[in-house]
Amino acid sequence: MIFNGILSKLKTGLSKTRSILNTDVTELLLGRKIDEETLDRLEEILISADIGVETTTKIIEHLKQSYKEGNLTDSSQVIDYLKSDLKSALNQDKAGVNIAASGPTVILVVGVNGTGKTTSIAKLANLFNKDGKKVLLCASDTFRAAAIEQLSVWSERLGVDVIRQQSGADPAAVAFDAAEAALARKTDILIVDTAGRLHTKTNLMNELGKIKNVLNRKIPGAPHETLLVLDATTGQNGIMQAKVFHQATPLTGIFLAKLDGTAKGGIIIAIKKQLALPVKFVGIGEKLDDIEPFDGGKFVDALFD
Ligand SMILES: Nc1nc2c(ncn2[C@@H]2O[C@H](COP(=O)(O)OP(=O)(O)OP(=O)(O)O)[C@@H](O)[C@H]2O)c(=O)[nH]1
Ligand SMILES: [Mg+2]
């Protein structure tokens, strides 16, 4: 399933990153000629947006090479080079959700504490809901009563059901109930919320494996998506988190939340480079509509247009 995003919303959500990648770069190039000093300064700007050393070096090398060959004569061309190099660094990534051939599609949502899991689940549920899909939520974050309550409040707002137990219940047992309910109710999309956990806590990481196995035993092929929610404002640490989560329970993609809260939105390029995982959605605010299915081309356009 492919969703279509809106460029203007993405532009607003990316305003902090745009202030570096668009404003600062444009200001740098204004009335300047291309020389070593300009390109060095450009390199600094790209690094400060968290694009990553590897991609930045490649872009700067490309610019220097083109300059030497006489293809880059005017600084106004630099943005075009940047856009095209960033687009190719992000490849053809598009937000597709892996949908079950038949029966419920199960999306397991994981991540460290406070990255935006529950909010992102509500946003996803809303997207599917608007697409006419029957959505069911599962409150497998039984760690705190408030967490169950938070998901229940969203479910009421969205008009979708939630499967819950009392706090302290076994998260895998709640997942079991939810899988059964999804089958019985002919749910299209079951989204499972889990408690935030530090990727360094082995026992908590193993718990995810248990939830996953329960879902898989009830619904063949489940979970069809295991999304790691990363907080974009944590920058490079998110990459470490992704590596450990991926080892504990194979991930199918990243939901990059809070992209609106950082000027280092270039992290999306570093993620793409360092993890062999697609960014499937980005979160650009606290409201239900503040979600964008990720599209590399659109992302770069939103940064520079
Ligand atoms: N600005 C902004 N805030 C966000 C975004 N996504 C989530 N938040 C906020 O981040 C905070 C934490 O969100 P939650 O959804 O509760 O995070 P969580 O990962 O479920 O937290 P735990 O369950 O405690 O681990 C809330 O205040 C959200 O409103 C986003 O895309 N942008
Ligand atoms: Mg939560």
Upper half-sphere CA count for residue 242 (Cβ side, 13 Å): 30
Pocket test for ligand 1, best of 117, 119, 199 (most atoms within 8 A of CB): 119
Residue scoring higher pLDDT (174 or 276): 174
**Ligand whose nearest atom lies closest to the CA of 12:** 1
**How are beta strands 253-257 and 135-140 bridged, if at all?**
unpaired
What's the rounded mean pLDDT across residues 261-271?
89
Ligand 1 nearest atom to the CA of residue 290, by list position: 31
pLDDT at 188: 98
Contacts of 248 (CB under 8 A, 6+ apart): 199, 205, 206, 208, 209
What's the rounded mean pLDDT across residues 151-178?
97
Q: Are 93 and 273 in contact (CB under 8 A)?
A: no
Q: What is the mean pLDDT of the chain?
A: 92
Ligand 1 nearest atom to the CA of residue 141, by list position: 23
- Residue 35 to residue 42: CA distance in whole angstroms: 11
Per-residue pLDDT for 233 more than 50?
A: yes
pLDDT tens-digit map of 19-28: 988 899 999 9
pLDDT tens-digit map of 104-161: 999 999 999 999 999 999 999 999 999 999 999 999 999 999 999 999 999 999 999 9
Spell out the domain ranges in the chain: 105-251
pLDDT tens-digit map of 197-212: 887 888 888 999 999 9
| Contact 253 CB / ligand 1 (< 6 Å) | no
Which residue lies with its CA nearest to atom 1 of ligand 1? 285
| Contact 116 CB / ligand 1 (< 6 Å) | yes
pTM listed for this prediction: 0.93
| Contact 284 CB / ligand 1 (< 6 Å) | yes
Which residue lies with its CA nearest to atom 26 of ligand 1? 116
| Contact 196 CB / ligand 1 (< 6 Å) | yes
Contacts of 131 (CB under 8 A, 6+ apart): 1, 3
- CATH no. of 105-251: 3.40.50.300
CA-based diameter of the chain, in Å? 69
pLDDT at 16: 92
pLDDT at 1: 47
Which residue lies with its CA nearest to atom 13 of ligand 1? 116
| Contact 197 CB / ligand 1 (< 6 Å) | no
Tell me what percent of the residues of the chain surpass a pLDDT of 90.
Answer: 71
Residue with tokens 């705190």: 144
Q: Where are the beta strands (DSSP E) in 43-149?
A: 105-110, 135-140
Contacts of 212 (CB under 8 A, 6+ apart): 108, 223, 226, 249
Per-residue pLDDT for 94 more than 70?
A: no
